[in-house]
Amino acid sequence: MEANSLSPGIWNAIAEMVARNAAPGEISFHNVRKRDVAKKIIWVEEFGETSIPLVTFDFNFAYYDTQPSGSVTKRYDATADESDPAYHAKLLVPRVGQKVAILNPSGNRRFPVCIGVVQSMPGSYWSGE
């Protein structure tokens, strides 16, 4: 049988089967419904009771300290690593109701990770879409 001899109904059935088996979009946006600040995990409605870990890089910083004499001292340790908490910023767990971006790598809702919080104001992006 040649491909061009298939009826439109068969082509539609093939297209529907392919669409059903294709992985859904890997990045989706959801509102946080529950959070655990100590464990740094969140939950969103679409993933049910699957806890979602937060994923980010660590950040360090330098700051300036003004002495009473007026001199300014830069406080930064170039050799500081994860063992020196004085030079690390604290990770804030998204609040309930905040919109987050979820990466769902397999498309099967088994191993989702939160890759960030949407910082733009609702209605200020993707207008007219």
What are the pLDDT digits (tens) for 79-114? 666 667 776 778 899 999 999 999 988 777 788 999
How many domains are contained in the chain? 2
What's the pLDDT at 40?
95
Residues 51 and 100 in one domain: yes
The answer, yes or no, to whether residue 24 has pLDDT greater than 80, is no
- Identify the bridge partners of residue 101 per DSSP, sorted by sequence position: 29, 116
Q: Can you tell me the distance from the alpha carbon of 72 to that of 66, in angstroms, rounded to the nearest whole number?
A: 4
Mean pLDDT across 35-61: 91
The residue type of 30 is H
In degrees and rounded to multiples of 5, residue 74 shows phi and psi of -85, 125
Residues 52 and 95 in one domain: yes
Report the chain's mean pLDDT, rounded to a whole number: 82
Closest CA to 103 of 28, 49, 23: 28
What's the pLDDT at 96?
96
What's the pLDDT at 48?
92
pTM for the whole thing?
0.64
Segment 39-51, tens digit of pLDDT: 999 999 999 999 9
The answer, yes or no, to whether residue 129 has pLDDT greater than 60, is no
- On whether residue 127 sits in a domain, the answer given is no
Residues 62 and 114 in one domain: no
Q: What is the CATH number of the domain that holds 106?
A: 2.40.50.230
Residues 67 and 49 in one domain: no
Closest CA to 45 of 84, 91, 96, 86: 96
Q: Which distant-in-sequence residues (6+ apart) come within 8 Å of 47 by Cβ?
A: 30, 102, 109, 112
In degrees and rounded to multiples of 5, residue 72 shows phi and psi of -115, 130
Q: Which domain holds residue 37?
A: 26-56+91-122
